[in-house]
Amino acid sequence: MISLEDFASQWKMPVAPMMAVHRVYPFVLSRHFAGLIRTPEDPLWRQVVPDPRELDESDPVGLRDPLGEERRSPVPNLVHRYPDRVLWIVTDACAVHCRFCTRKRRWTHPVPLHDDLIREALHYIRKTPAIHDVILSGGDPLMLPLELLEELMAKVREIPHVRLLRLGTRVPFADPVRITPTVARRLAAYGPLYMNIHVNHPWEISEESREACRLLADAGIPLGSQTVLLKGINDSAPVLSSLFTELLTLRVRPYYLLQMDLMQGTRHFRTPLAAGAELMAALRNRISGLAIPQFVVDLPQGLGKVPITASAVERVDADRVILQNFAGHATAYPLEPEERGRLRHILGLG
């Protein structure tokens, strides 16, 4: 990892404005990802370098826990939002701190995963037979010591009604040297294991990340990607086209394009909802269908992911769109000024 002082010195930038943000939302950056940055304010820089706008609390729709994870955690670190799956936060450590992270609240207030919490989480999964799918998340599970990660995966695998195990990570692109033949082989032993990798821009694809993906895919682990739509970073059809097409060559199937969560202090990253729908229309039939992910919004308060399609929209008001979630509940999602007409047009709502 590179310190904030060393990073600022390397780029001959004043450290004080970054440090003011770092005290609230700490800077964490792998040397690998730092080495991919080409110029100040480039698409990689903006994802990981502290920005004073993160301290702006005036956003009327910004939330500290935008997905309502704390209130949907029956035990600490275990989020149960959907009937058949749980998300288990097994660490708060990351290879990089994404400045738009939906869990920034945990950066300075982590909930360490000690033995008692592990037992509580496993007990909850065991006593809830409807749970068929366990997603290991964080932080980043691949930042754990391999032996501890294997221990957790083995204990989950012992539960008869758990059919699938998933792992969410940014490591293959943010710190790919962590993926060795040994790591890939030992992870694959707990299959069926699916890995979803966070990657946002084609410049994140390096020779090292290509090798990391090759090792994982060769070990038999199906790979998918999750990309967050970020204003001024990847909100253009050429950038997304390049990213999604190149991911396929790594045997990484684009899975989700995510509307930015309504996280407090991240308004400067947020695109209009209509922009994502327009980008999907611009990509369709211009790149392989295999390369086109599903564009979704993760509804506030943990009401689940909803694809932005006409069938999911109940109505579009002047300042909000009413979406139907998986349980049939109507939920409002805020729109930016003058966005209503764009969204109705792109979804064919007249």
Would you say 292 and 284 are in contact if contact means Cβ atoms under 8 Å apart? yes
Q: Where are the domains of the chain?
A: 4-239, 272-350
β-strands 305-307, 313-316 pairing = unpaired
Residues designated as active site: 81-82, 85, 94, 98, 101, 103, 261, 298, 305
What are 235-294's pLDDT values in tens digits?
Answer: 999 999 999 999 999 999 999 999 999 999 999 999 999 999 999 999 999 999 999 999
DSSP 3-state assignment of 331?
strand
Q: Name the pairing type of β-strands 85-89 and 133-137.
A: parallel
Q: What does each of the 350 residues of the chain score in pLDDT, given as a tens digit?
A: 999 999 999 999 999 999 999 999 999 999 999 999 999 999 999 999 999 999 998 999 999 999 999 999 999 999 999 999 999 999 999 999 999 999 999 999 999 999 999 999 999 999 999 999 999 999 999 999 999 999 999 999 999 999 999 999 999 999 999 999 999 999 999 999 999 999 999 999 999 999 999 999 999 999 999 999 999 999 999 999 999 999 999 999 999 999 999 999 999 999 999 999 999 999 999 999 999 999 999 999 889 999 999 999 999 999 999 999 988 889 999 999 889 999 999 999 86
Neighbouring residues of 223: CB distance < 8 A, sequence distance ≥ 6: 195, 196, 197, 213, 216, 217, 250, 251, 252, 253
CATH topology of domain 4-239: TIM Barrel (3.20.20)
Q: Is 213 annotated as a binding residue?
A: no
* Residue 101 known to bind ligand: yes
Instruction: Please report, for residues 36, 41, 80, 240, 244, the alpha-carbon distance to residue 202 in angstroms, rounded to integers and kept in the order given.
Output: 11, 16, 33, 8, 8
């990657």: which residue's tokens? 199
